[in-house]
Amino acid sequence: MKTKKNFRPLGAAVMALSIATASALSIAQLAPEGKTFSKAQATAFAGPLQTERRLDRLIVKFKDKAVTRAGVFDFNAARSQVSMLQTGTALKSLNTSAANLSYLKSVTAETHVVITGQKLSRAELFALAKQIEQDASVAYAEIDEIVQPLFTPNDPQYQSQQWHYQTPATVPGGANLPTAWDLSTGSGAVVAVIDTGFRPHADLAANLLPGYDFVSDLTMANDGDGRDSDASDPGDWCGTDSPPSNSSWHGTHVAGTIAAVTNNGVGVAGVAFGAKVLPVRVLGVCGGHISDIAAGMRWSAGLSVPDVPANPNKAKVLNLSLGGSGSCSDTFQGAVNAARAVGSIVVAATGNDGKTVISQPANCAGVIAVTAHTKLGDNADYANIGAGTAISGPGGGAGTLVAGDGALVYSTLNTGTTTPVADSYAGYQGTSMAASHVAGVAALLASLQPAITPDTLGSVLASSARPHPPGTFCAPRTDCGAGLVDARAALDRLNSLAPTVAASVSPTGVRPTGSTISFTATASAGNSGNTTFSYQWTQMAGPAVSLSSTTAAATSFLAPSPGASYTFKVNVTDGAGLSASNQVSVRSNTAPVLSPIPVQSVIQGGNLSFTASAADAENNPVMFVANSLPAGSSFDAATGVFSWDAAGPAGDYSLTITPNDGIFSGIPQTVLIAVTASGAAGGGGGGGSMGWPDVLALLSLTALGVYFGRRYGPKR
């Protein structure tokens, strides 16, 4: 029979959970000297970073210079290069106004800036650049990015306290977030904080989702009941510790590091402030049980747990800033395997025992095990390392070889020593803090690639990590992980691995209604080299149509009547869970139908007038084209009015009228006109007057009447 283990906040005995600090300091002791904390008032950040910027400029370098024979730069030659690119085979398959490139300016004689026909997302513009690079005349094509000062949150404690977010040029141990936030803020990602629960801190509440309380042991629950939907933290003080420990509000501190509300002029910033935190309470008074933690992990990943309502907000990232001694238990490993099988990433702290062996569940297979480093980038003197360590995150405190100033990781907290009192901020040190940084960076990555696999995300983090600084404890070692987490490098690495996709339509141009329109997606592997692709087509605009397939590289639909504009998005995902998308647009149209025009007749010298009209299914304005007009007549293309004053000479005439709606021409009609000699009976006039056949018939009848009247009529 296995011994049941309690997983507990920092400050407990040998079986303690390695979560908050390397010692049993109280919150007041961890706060900077002389610093008082006021209750924060939060407002959700709604700045431009939450809205993806759309761009329309590319830099294209050609292999040849745009110069004259005398070597002088020639603007016309530069424009010609862009024009030839537009009509070249590389872009021939693209039927979208986005590919309508125009020359803007030049950087060098061979490097020019071109503008696309419409603004695109960064992913779409990147795909277009890769398509342009297929042209034999092009050396490279890249996005003409908008460069601005690095995003700096206006949260007052960000600059003064949160060294752990800064660039490595400023702080060697910083996670390099200012440059990363220009690419991702974590929007759309969900991170489960499997911990002591949460306090509704004003600088955090806006980013919290409804969680769950899995603490089933009533002696630990401290809230009067067992499992329920209230994941708030009532306090986890432990009187059996020696000395007794105060409440840590540990889950609130970890959650603030991951996703505190940012740029709201209050308190602190979060690593992935665009993400949401799913609070899962598994630790109570003096700790928690493996069984509850494993259940919380499964529920967080969207898996079912008996007698617990389903989780409507599946977490892509599971943060376990907790740990206990011993090898990975079967229960933990089973929970890790189950979470990974449905695509969730598991991040765990290695422990705060200063040992060369890491805690469980960090030592479970498939977990991203995080050790801690200091402000100067040295491995923290309390941080466990050893086989299985994946990466290091900012944890604060003193270094093993390079002591530093002992700066702590600053985040959201509560002033209560036992039960909750008021919002506050404070610094902690520990591998718990390090793990929460890595979990936040994982959310930044998952925001850009929601389908990324756990293995791929772990590989991206490791391959982009900065080497341990020279002279630090881990520099010569192989058991400290890949290096220091670097948010911007991780995002750049991810983007380089992702595939690209081009989308084309066939036949090109506006298509007649009733015709079959076909689309083809062509995917190319990124630097990962993964060529196993799956496809997903989605209609983005236009009347709903039925595609022949939504999951094949090629698809088609029958253009219904009336015509319309249609836009479709194709998303391609490779075997690593990395995806790319592109859009293709096409338009269908119905040609206008000319109303029948009867035979027209007029007496020589008379005036003739009639109006052509047409029906158009799309209500497009119709123009009319007339050919073979009789001499002296006129035709108004806009109104369809035919006019012929003083028609003549006598004879038969014909003209052809064709309707056009600006896209397609309708079926032409030949209009017959009879001009009768002026000496004949009848009078000239407009359309509908007596024609020459009628006149002849009348004359014939008159003559016949005279003949019969003379021969057979009464005699005088």
Question: What number of other Cβ atoms are within 10 A of residue 623's Cβ?
Answer: 18
Q: What are phi and psi of 485, to 5 degrees?
A: -60, 135
Question: Please, which pLDDT band fits residue 704 given cuts at 50, 70 and 90?
Answer: very low
**565, 636 Cβ separation under 8 angstroms:** no
357 and 463 share one domain: yes
Q: Structural domain tally of the chain?
A: 4
Question: Please, which pLDDT band fits residue 150 given cuts at 50, 70 and 90?
Answer: low
537 and 647 share one domain: no
551 and 674 share one domain: no
88 and 194 share one domain: no
| Domain termination residue (choose one: 567, 589, 611) | 589
101 and 82 share one domain: yes
| Domain termination residue (choose one: 450, 473, 496) | 496
* Burial zone of 465 (CB within 10 Å; 0-12 exposed, 13-18 middle, 19+ buried): buried
pTM summary value: 0.74
How far, rounded to the nearest angstrom, does the alpha carbon of residue 716 sit from its chain's CA centroid?
A: 106
Asked if the structure places residue 170 within a domain, the reply is no
The pLDDT score that the predictor gives to residue 697 is 42
Nearest to 414 by CA among 253, 528, 191: 253
Asked if the structure places residue 151 within a domain, the reply is no
What does the alpha-carbon distance between residue 362 and residue 271 come to, in Å, rounded to a whole number?
A: 21
Predicted confidence (pLDDT) per residue in 383-428, tens digit: 999 999 999 999 999 999 999 999 999 999 999 999 999 999 999 9
Q: What are phi and psi of 348, to 5 degrees?
A: -140, 150
**10, 323 Cβ separation under 8 angstroms:** no
Mean pLDDT value of segment 38-66: 56
CATH of the domain at 64: 3.30.70
CB pairs under 8 A, 24+ apart, for 679-682?
Answer: 680/603, 682/603
Asked if the structure places residue 355 within a domain, the reply is yes
Cβ-proximal residues to 281 (8 Å cutoff; 6+ apart), any chain: 195, 196, 197, 198, 211, 212, 213, 214, 215, 231, 232, 233, 251, 296
| Domain termination residue (choose one: 89, 121, 143) | 143
How far, rounded to the nearest angstrom, does the alpha carbon of residue 251 sit from its chain's CA centroid?
A: 30
504 and 653 share one domain: no
696 and 637 share one domain: yes
CATH of the domain at 330: 3.40.50.200
The pLDDT score that the predictor gives to residue 693 is 45
Asked if the structure places residue 211 within a domain, the reply is yes
Mean pLDDT value of segment 257-284: 97
Asked if the structure places residue 491 within a domain, the reply is yes
**655, 583 Cβ separation under 8 angstroms:** no
Asked if the structure places residue 709 within a domain, the reply is no
Nearest to 368 by CA among 429, 301, 320: 320
What does the alpha-carbon distance between residue 484 and residue 228 come to, in Å, rounded to a whole number?
A: 38
Asked if the structure places residue 118 within a domain, the reply is yes
What Rg do the C-alpha atoms of the chain give, in angstroms?
38
**379, 476 Cβ separation under 8 angstroms:** no
The residues carrying an active-site annotation are 195, 250, 432
15 and 63 share one domain: no
Rounded to the nearest 5 degrees, what angle is found at the Cα of 178, between the Cα atoms of 482 and 30? 75
Mean pLDDT value of segment 115-131: 81
Question: Please, which pLDDT band fits residue 99 given cuts at 50, 70 and 90?
Answer: low
CATH of the domain at 583: 2.60.40.10
The pLDDT score that the predictor gives to residue 53 is 65
Q: Is the dihedral of CA 457, 460, 463, 466 positive or negative?
A: negative
529 and 576 share one domain: yes
Question: Please, which pLDDT band fits residue 316 given cuts at 50, 70 and 90?
Answer: very high
Beta bridge partners of 484: 392, 466
Length of the chain: 716
Question: Please, which pLDDT band fits residue 157 given cuts at 50, 70 and 90?
Answer: very high
336 and 232 share one domain: yes
Asked if the structure places residue 153 within a domain, the reply is no
Domain that holds residue 92: 54-143
How far, rounded to the nearest angstrom, does the alpha carbon of residue 378 sit from its chain's CA centroid?
A: 36
Predicted confidence (pLDDT) per residue in 606-644, tens digit: 999 999 999 999 999 999 999 999 999 999 999 999 999
Res. 699: pLDDT tops 60 = no
388 and 431 share one domain: yes
Question: Taking every pair of C-alpha atoms in the chain, what is the biggest distance, in angstroms?
Answer: 153
Average pLDDT, the chain: 86
Nearest to 653 by CA among 669, 672, 625, 634: 672
How far, rounded to the nearest angstrom, does the alpha carbon of residue 612 sit from its chain's CA centroid?
A: 51
Question: Please, which pLDDT band fits residue 90 given cuts at 50, 70 and 90?
Answer: low
| DSSP character string of 394-407 | E--S-BSS--TT-P
Helix (H) or strand (E) holding 572: strand 565-573
What does the alpha-carbon distance between residue 608 and residue 684 come to, in Å, rounded to a whole number?
A: 8
Question: Please, which pLDDT band fits residue 68 given cuts at 50, 70 and 90?
Answer: confident
Residue type, 175: A
660 and 553 share one domain: no
Residue type, 612: A
Nearest to 231 by CA among 192, 289, 281: 281
- In whole angstroms, how far apart are CA 346 and each of 65, 115, 213, 438? 52, 43, 19, 11
Mean pLDDT value of segment 686-707: 41
Mean pLDDT value of segment 110-136: 84
The two structure tokens encoding residue 491: 């995002």
Q: Which residue spans within 161-257 are E strands per DSSP?
A: 190-195, 212-213
